[in-house]
Each structure stands twice: as structure tokens, then as C-alpha cells.
Amino acid sequence: MAKAVAKPKPAKTGEPVLLSGGNPQIAKGYGDAPVQAYIAAMPGWKSDVGRKIDALITKTVPGVKKAVKWNSPLYGIEEGRWFLGVHVFAKYVKVAFFEGAKLKPEPPVASKQQHVRYFHIHENDAIDETQFAKWVKQASKLPGEKM
């Protein structure tokens, strides 16, 4: 018997399509525009979190490269090599540091992938902007993940 595949719910006219967990479906693209479209489509409080972390990354790493691939914003020093990704889940926003195991201190959430560490942001969480910026700065100096 064929396994049923969940299809995205159709959006009302003018609204973005939200995939499983509320992750926005945004076309693949490079530069700031697709990332801003993704952030604008993040549901509810998550959009404010998206704007805040995008601003922190942009301030911490002048000239950072941006893209949306696999319905997730990516940030890197050079196009095609990414040090950080963002993804929306039902109850939190996940920031993935692709070489997070090399950061000091390590971001708090482990991954099944040896080098990846996550930082989860839930509704009403206060973001330690100083620590977040330190992680971003360290991550930007490591060889990015080729994607």
C-alpha cells in the first residue's frame, strides 16, 4: 500500500503556503530578498524572531551572503558555503550552526550530525544577543557547509 504524503495546505489569496510545522514555502533564491520573504511569511511571533536574528547576523557579519534553499534561510561568507541555517517548527525557531561543535561555548542542543549544534527559540524566550553574536562571529570564521 502506498504511503500517503501530506500536501501543503493551500493559502488564502495573498498568504504564503505553510508546510509542516508552519515552515514557510519560499522559492529557492540567493540574496537578501528571498530571506526577507521567508521572514515575512513566518507565522505569528516567529516573524519577529526571524527579523531579530537576521538583523543580528547582518550586524555581526558585514557582507554576509544569504539564500533560501530547502525552505530555510542560509547564511554564509561565500555563496554555496553556509555556516548557519534557520527553520520554523510548530513550537520554536531552530537556528542550526553547521560547525556548532567547534563553537565556545557550544550552542545548547545536540544533533544527530556530529558537528551540528542547534539553538532553539520558543515564544517569549529572551535571546542573549551578546552570546548569539559570539556564536555567529565564530561560526562565520569556520569553513562553511557546502550546499
What is the C-alpha to C-alpha distance for residues 71 and 23, in angstroms, rounded to an integer?
Answer: 7
pLDDT at 19: 79
pLDDT at 9: 47
List helix spans (H) across 13-142.
32-41, 45-60, 129-140
pLDDT at 17: 83
Please check whether residue 4 lies inside any domain of the structure: no
pLDDT at 15: 66
What is the C-alpha to C-alpha distance for residues 32 and 58, in angstroms, rounded to an integer?
Answer: 10
Domain that holds residue 42: 20-146
Please check whether residue 12 lies inside any domain of the structure: no
**The domain spanning residue 130 has which CATH number?**
3.90.1150.200
pLDDT at 11: 45
Please check whether residue 15 lies inside any domain of the structure: no
Q: Which stretches in the chain have pLDDT values below 70?
A: 1-15, 147
Q: What is residue 91's DSSP assignment?
A: S
* Total count of domains within the chain: 1
Q: What is the pTM of this model?
A: 0.86
Strand partners, 72: 69
Q: What is residue 14's DSSP assignment?
A: T
Q: In which residue are the cell numbers 515564544 written?
A: 123
pLDDT at 117: 97
